[in-house]
Amino acid sequence: MNKNLRTPVIAGNWKMNKNRAEAKALLEELCPLVKDAGCGVVVCVPFTDLETALAATAGTNVKVGAQNCHFETSGAFTGEIAADMLAEMGVEYVVLGHSERRQYFAETDETVNLRTKAALAAGLKPIVCVGELLAQREQGITAEVVSLQTKVALQGIDAEGLRSIIIAYEPVWAIGTGKTATAEQAGEVCAVIRATVAGLYGEEAASHLVVQYGGSMNAGNAAELLAQPDVDGGLIGGASLKADAFSQIVEAASK
């Protein structure tokens, strides 16, 4: 499918890093470096950094995202944040179903689906993460796992909702390990995701879907990964914590 139909998006997932002063300093260094980016640039920061990040990126091309949201609009859910609360602040994106949320906080395909629907209802753009465990790759069931995660995440979401969604393919074994999927492995699974979406919504809708790769993506390997026909950007962990490394990935996606 024609890659020119899609503008790549490079999103940083800061995870549980950076206090407000550090967030401000990083964004003040980053924004000028990426001001001429030929791709979307997003920083997904801890909840406590959202206000700082929105202020530091105001008037720039850098968009701000959160790293999760709850699926209810309000209520007795101690410690949770509703999608509307994020939207009301001016947050535009939200990472959902990250493997660390699935692994350490018992999130499931079903709750990822509920969160995705809640995010869309609030007007947020979800970055929905899918990806196989190492054991699943070794069992040869990567395509089935990723396709299933994609299908469940999208249950009950119409074609209009799909237009606001990014799907990030993050093989769990490549996250924070320094082990990157080869460009071919990344391209192959991103193509599976697009084919799954084509099966649900048709080829035309799938041809506009941004599918990111994430997992030890850095300034050195970004160009090769992004050259794959079905890889439309990246969800960057470690390398998003340094302005120069992150801006080099943005540059690779802008070519």
Decide if residue 176 touches ligand 13P (CB under 6 A): yes
Residue 254 annotated as binding? Answer: no
Q: Kindly name the residue from 70, 98, 100, 251 that is annotated as catalytic.
A: 98
Q: In whole angstroms, how close is the CB of 50 to ligand 13P at the nearest point?
A: 17
Residue 14 annotated as binding? Answer: yes
How far apart CA 220 and CA 91 sit, in angstroms, is: 30
Residue 19 annotated as binding? Answer: no
Where in 216-255 is the site for ligand 13P (CB under 6 A)?
216-217, 235-239
Instruction: Return the number of the residue (171 or 187) whose C-beta is nearest ligand 13P.
Output: 171
Where in 183-212 is the site for ligand 13P (CB under 6 A)?
none
Decide if residue 13 touches ligand 13P (CB under 6 A): yes
Decide if residue 215 touches ligand 13P (CB under 6 A): yes
How far apart CA 170 and CA 246 sit, in angstroms, is: 18
Sign of the torsion angle spanned by Cα atoms 199, 157, 205, 218? negative
Residues designated catalytic: 98, 170
Residues that bind ligand 13P (CB under 6 A): 13, 98, 170, 175-176, 214-217, 235-239
